[in-house]
Amino acid sequence: MNELTSHWSPAQAQALEYAWGEYRVWSATARQKKQEITQWRFSVLIFSVTGGMLGTLSSQFTELSGMLGTLSSQVKELSSVIIGLAGTGLISASAYLGQEILKPDQERLFARARSVAEALKGTIFLFRIGAPPYDVPEPTPILMQRVQELLNQVKDLPAVNLTPGQKLENLPEGRLTVENYVRERIEDQVDDFYKPRIKKYEKLLNHWRLINFCISLLAAFLGVLGKWTAAWVAVLTTLGTSVAAYIFANRYQYLLVSYQATARQLEFFKNEWLLMGAPEHDLEKRNRFILNCEATISTENSAWMAKLLEKPKESVEP
């Protein structure tokens, strides 16, 4: 370990606690915002689909109920109106949620909170292992300055309120050797973050694509039955488009590919380091290994943030 950074002073321990607490705050903020966006986005999908189906059912209710012959004309007409109003209400709610609650600004807030949280986490690891710029006798001022710079990026955002105990939950302990860095940072990031999410997004992507395929098959089947199904074919076509837009909005394909690439790159650096004999006392090789790993994680985070902040395109994923 670098002799200049081998001592763990009370000031450094306090600075670590402060930085970790801010990481916990902005990580929780990003998680909460992500959950809200995901829930509302799914609600928009359900509302728009259900509203379209009810609108079509309303226009055909009199004819369909006539086949049963059990309802009076007044009841049929009233039921048709009620169903139509319900459909209109759901479509209106879907439009409102899409335009007001799911504005691009909401996703930008989430992206900024997550970006700062990840940057704080990376900073903490560099500080703990004493990699540049923290390979100096007293790295605490550098850490505090960096934390302040990151917090200035989100000073206009509302943050989740955490108790002092919640802020210090899972607080890392002191300095790191490179061996511990590999275990706590690289292996944890790959095995406990990227790989589980790769499996999750593969499953979600396949799930929604299967649903879209089934919708297309059903639309094709109804299309050959006769004129009375034409309205339902239109509903299913709209549903298919909505599902495709939902897949695109959640960026499953992008996240899947991005996480795969980043996990592979981190595993490459890890194996390269081990094949070199893990020369921890060679400061140049040690620092290059650490900084390469942190740059890889940072690049993935920056690219992901840029993806969220880009203007939406008119096309959607198939």
**Are 14 and 144 within 8 A, CB to CB?**
no
pLDDT of residue 4: 38
pLDDT of residue 309: 64
State the Cα–Cα distance between residues 229 and 222, nearest whole angstrom.
6
Joined together, the tokens standing for residue 209 give: 């694509």
pLDDT of residue 3: 38
Q: Residue 39, CB half-sphere, CA atoms under 13 Å: how many?
A: 6
**Are 48 and 97 within 8 A, CB to CB?**
no
Give the pTM: 0.82
Domain ranges of the chain: 1-176, 177-311
* Sign, CA torsion 77/83/87/89: positive
pLDDT by position in tens, the chain (length 318): 333 344 578 899 999 999 999 999 999 999 999 898 888 888 888 888 888 888 887 777 666 655 555 556 666 677 777 887 888 888 888 777 777 666 667 788 888 999 999 999 999 999 999 999 999 989 999 999 999 999 999 999 999 999 999 999 999 988 899 999 999 999 999 999 999 999 999 999 999 999 989 988 988 888 777 666 777 888 888 888 888 888 888 888 889 999 999 999 999 999 999 999 989 899 999 999 999 999 999 998 888 777 766 654 443 333
In which residue are the tokens 């900073």 written? 123
Buried-state track 136-172, b at ≥16 Cβ within 10 A, e below 16 = eeebbebbeebbeebeeebeeeebbebeeeebeeeeb
